[in-house]
Amino acid sequence: MTETVDFAYDPFDAQVMADPLPYYRTLRDEYPLYYMPQWDTFALSRFEDIWQVLEVNDGTFVASEGTLPPTTVLAKHNTGPVEDPPLHPLPFHAVFDADLYGEIRRSHSAPLRPRSVAGLADRIRTLANERLDLLLPRGSFDLTQEYGGIVAASMVCGLLGLPDDLAPQVLAAVNAGSLAEPGVGVEVAAARPNYLGFLTPVVERRRADASGDALPVVDGLLGYRLPDGTALTDTEAATQMLCIFIGGTETVPKIVAHGLWELSKRPDQLAAVRADPATNVPLAREEMIRYCAPAQWFARTVRKPYTIHDKTIEPGQRIITLLASANRDEREYPQPDEFIFDRPIKRSLAFGRGQHFCIGYHLARLEIDVLLTEWLRRVPDYAIHSDAAKRLPSSFQWGWNNIPVEV
């Protein structure tokens, strides 16, 4: 199904970037498999379709052109399957097919496994309370950036071996990197040398001196050997750390601040969550993730023919999975545009599914729990200045960057 005279969807269109939600509804209802000839790409918008596609794990879908290709990549149309890139210099591992991708992912994800993450609760709580000690006496501040933003960025600094006092700079760099110009998209990691400016020195320092506290993300990458027996260079290791740097920094704060805003619009729900935080914060967390998660879509390039909705997608063509549309699919969630803190959520695509399932899943949920719990415990009343809140247009992270709050 392609565009009609009346309807056209393009994730890089300025109007779509300013508010994609009405487009998603039309896509789900009328064009569940929507073809964009300019990008040779199909958009999938229904929960069930995306659930099925992301489950396929046999090399049919590979993120060979990146999970977030900009228009410069999509404008080039492939005439057949896109093979894995050469090993040297090693690009970001997510572009490889399962084996190599999985090995590199496993090599540096130990601190994000459930048991390791559980040990981070106290640190998150300390960071949250340090922020509140500083912010509450001020009376008004930016709930996204100054509360959760600094906490999440500090956690990323800890994971990646950056000093804590770099957290504000990390946060600012990641926020700037997610902005997207209409018609362009978000440039690939390689176009953000300032990120590597943070990460490469960490790898260099660690290689020169591996004493001191454990640094499993960096150590795992330095200890890893490619199938040809070679080790990663400093830049190659730093490149593999980009996704934690980005994914760990900006999603959680936007969800927490936006979620607290939604609660404040519904005093009965806010009162219910406050009344029993141990039970209700985890429920509210899941609804906040569904309702507020800012990432819009991720891409895969098709390597083997795949048929869906009676159409065969050919090798070299791409699909984008509109996760933000799946989160609002009325076929999965009744009244999807309502925020209902304790709605049953049986299945979720907010963290993706299958091979590329978010490696920060456990940490993200713990951070959100702690940030919400400490906020509700210490802030008896708060009001959001909705007129001054800012949600910048983006084809990638369409989230509330700034939410001024008064306490």
Place of tokens 């399962």: 98
**Least Å distance between CB 274 and ligand HEM?**
22
Piece in contact with ligand HEM (CB under 6 A), picked from 113-121, 177-185, 219-227, 241-249 = 241-249
The least distance separating ligand HEM from the CB of residue 4, rounded to whole angstroms, comes to 29
For ligand HEM, the closer of residues 205 and 362 by Cβ is 362
| 105 touches ligand HEM (CB under 6 A) | yes
Site for ligand HEM in 272-291 (CB under 6 A): 289
Q: Is 255 in the site for ligand HEM (CB under 6 A)?
A: yes
360 counts as binding ligand HEM under rule CB under 6 A = yes
| DSSP code per residue over 90-145 | ---GGGS-HHHHHHHHHHT-GGGSHHHHHTTHHHHHHHHHHHHHHHGGGSEEEIII
- Considering CB under 6 A, how many residues would be counted as binding ligand HEM? 24
Query: Judging by beta carbons within 10 Å of its beta carbon (0-12, 13-18, 19+), is residue 68 exposed, middle or buried?
Result: buried
The CA distance from 283 to 117, in Å, is 20
247, 253, 336, 404: which one contacts ligand HEM (CB under 6 A)?
247
Binding mask 322-351 for ligand HEM (x = CB under 6 A): -x--------------------------xx
Q: Rule CB under 6 A: is residue 364 a binding residue for ligand HEM?
A: yes
Burial of 250 from C-beta contacts in 10 A (0-12 / 13-18 / 19+): buried
| CB of 148 or CB of 407, closer to ligand HEM | 148
Q: How far apart are CA 82 and CA 316, in angstroms?
A: 6
Omega prior to 89 cis, within 30 of 0: yes
Residues 6 or more apart whose Cβ sits within 8 Å of residue 202: 160, 161, 162, 218, 238, 241
Which residue number, 302 or 407, has a Cβ lying nearer to ligand HEM? 302
The residue ranges that bind ligand HEM (CB under 6 A) are: 67, 94, 105, 243-244, 247-248, 251-252, 255, 289, 293, 295, 298, 323, 350-352, 356, 358-360, 363-364
